[in-house]
Amino acid sequence: MTRPYNIGMIGYGFMGRAHSNAYANVAHYFDIEYQPVLKAVCARDGEKAKAFAAKWGYESVETDWKKLLTRKDIDAVDICTPNNLHKEIAIAAAQAGKAILCEKPLAMNAAEGEEMCQAVEKAGVANIVWYNYRRVPAVTFAKQIIDSGKLGKIFHYRANFLQDWTISADLPQGGQGLWRLDVAAAGSGVTGDLLAHCIDTAIWLNGGIGSVSAMTETFIKERKHNLTGKVEKVGIDDACAFLCRFTNGSLGLFESTRYARGHKALYTLEINGEKASIKWDLHDLHRLSYFDHRDEGPYRGWRSIHVTDGDHPYMGKWWVPGLAVGYETSFVHQVADFLGGLAKGKPAGPTFRDALETQKICDAVLASAKSGAWTKVG
Ligand code: SOE
């Protein structure tokens, strides 16, 4: 039996498209009881919201998110706004009894995130944060390999997220599309935007992080602000690198920047264990590199596994073996898992509580970069 599950989405930028595509397509590929209905999209600019609704098939438009939350025909609220609005909307949505799918990072900082966790837990509403990379089939496969014990004891975890889109000093900060450069809207720069992804994947694959030692840099110190028209100080971190100790004893090395000329969205991770290692690269997202020391001596080497077979995570739902899927499917998988979990009474993660851990690590990273000292998480 299937039943409708009405989505009210707040915001309609890049992530609004990625999420809408997932809701629109999930039932074509996955057998789910709750079938998403694109019920309403909400944005301050009514004309733009209407155009978005027409393009993606939303049934109605709201221009005030508070009004959206009063609607009885909305089951779940998807928060795709800049980070500084997550807390207020999520708490109000929880109080209105709505399930919540919130864009990453959960909040501006861990204190805000804690309030959000308490609100959803008190209201007992389902909640998830869009850390989508967990659900790239090759990354989910990495999780299965690690959980099966094939790597043995893990010594090293290494991750990068490299981009180059903010190098020009002429690029303004603030407003639509560029709020990620405005500390008042984003909370931080690459730490909350990009490293948060790497941290979420890392703690999912390799467990908790106990302490960090970080450095950050803001290469362009002032930019014109789109909302005020004035040249203003830049408050975000343009680049951030940190060392850390995982609670399982392994060592971590993370780097993110928007100043790595030539790299657009190069998220890479590598894990070295006693018996085997794995590597993954977002630019080649359907492959997982695997090295197993137990292979017969002369044949030992890195294999590049094309993660497109029916027995690879999620892949049995797509095409025939050998045919790859892309970035957008990680969002489809997240919706499938969330709704599948809902039907079973146990919605999938990362929940707000899981994402709070990432937020605490981001806070420790920023605090360490400021003080220059090793900093404990939490
Ligand atoms: C920034 O450019 C960005 O769009 C992030 O906000 C996303 O979370 C990341 O997946 C890709 O890069």
- The domain spans of the chain are 3-132, 133-376
CA–CA dist 52, 36 (Å, integer): 17
Tokens matching residue 210: 């106990």
Ranges of beta strands (E only) in 222-370 are: 222-224, 231-233, 239-246, 251-257, 266-273, 276-281, 287-292, 303-306
Q: What is the pTM of this model?
A: 0.98
CA–CA dist 173, 370 (Å, integer): 22
- Segment 189-206, tens digit of pLDDT: 999 999 999 999 999 999
Length of the chain: 378
Tokens matching residue 139: 């990354």
Which CATH superfamily does the domain covering 3-132 fall into?
A: NAD(P)-binding Rossmann-like Domain (3.40.50.720)
- Segment 273-317, tens digit of pLDDT: 999 999 999 999 999 999 999 999 999 999 999 999 999 999 999
Tell which atom from ligand 1 comes closest to the C-alpha of 196.
Answer: 8
Residue with CA nearest ligand 1 atom 1: 193
Tell which atom from ligand 1 comes closest to the C-alpha of 132.
Answer: 10
Q: Rounded to the nearest 5°, which phi and psi values hold at 200?
A: -60, -50
Residue in the structure block whose two tokens are 């609704």: 53
Tell which residue, 270, 224, 237, has the closest CA to residue 365. 237
Rounded to the nearest 5 degrees, what angle is found at the Cα of 142, between the Cα atoms of 138 and 148?
140
Longest dimension (CA), the chain: 67
Q: How many CA atoms lie within 13 A of 204 on its CB side?
A: 27
Kindly give the distance from the C-alpha atom of residue 81 to the centroid of ligand 1, in angstroms, as a whole number.
13
Tell which residue, 259, 201, 252, has the closest CA to residue 234. 259
User: 229: exposed, middle or buried (C-beta count within 10 Å: 0-12, 13-18, 19+)?
Assistant: exposed
Strand partners, 40: 8, 60
Considering only CA atoms, give the Rg of the chain. Answer: 21
Q: How confident is the model at residue 177 (pLDDT cuts 50, 70, 90)?
A: confident
pLDDT of residue 104: 98
Residue with CA nearest ligand 1 atom 8: 193
Give counts: helices (H), strands (E), the chain. Answer: 11, 17
Pocket of ligand 1 (CB under 6 A): 14, 163, 193, 197, 265
Could you check whether the bond before residue 137 is cis, i.e. omega within 30 degrees of 0? Answer: no
Tell me the angle at which helices 110-123 and 86-95 cross, rounded to the nearest 10 degrees: 10
Is it true that domain 133-376 has CATH number 3.40.1190.10? Answer: no
CA–CA dist 82, 89 (Å, integer): 11
Kindly give the distance from the C-alpha atom of residue 197 to the centroid of ligand 1, in angstroms, as a whole number.
9
CA-to-CA dists, residue 181 to 98, 195, 369, angstroms: 30, 15, 19
- Segment 102-115, tens digit of pLDDT: 999 999 999 999 99
Buried b (16+ CB within 10 A) or exposed e, 329-353: bbbbbbbbbbbbbbeeeebbbbbbb
- Segment 25-63, tens digit of pLDDT: 999 999 999 999 999 999 999 999 999 999 999 999 999
pLDDT of residue 347: 80
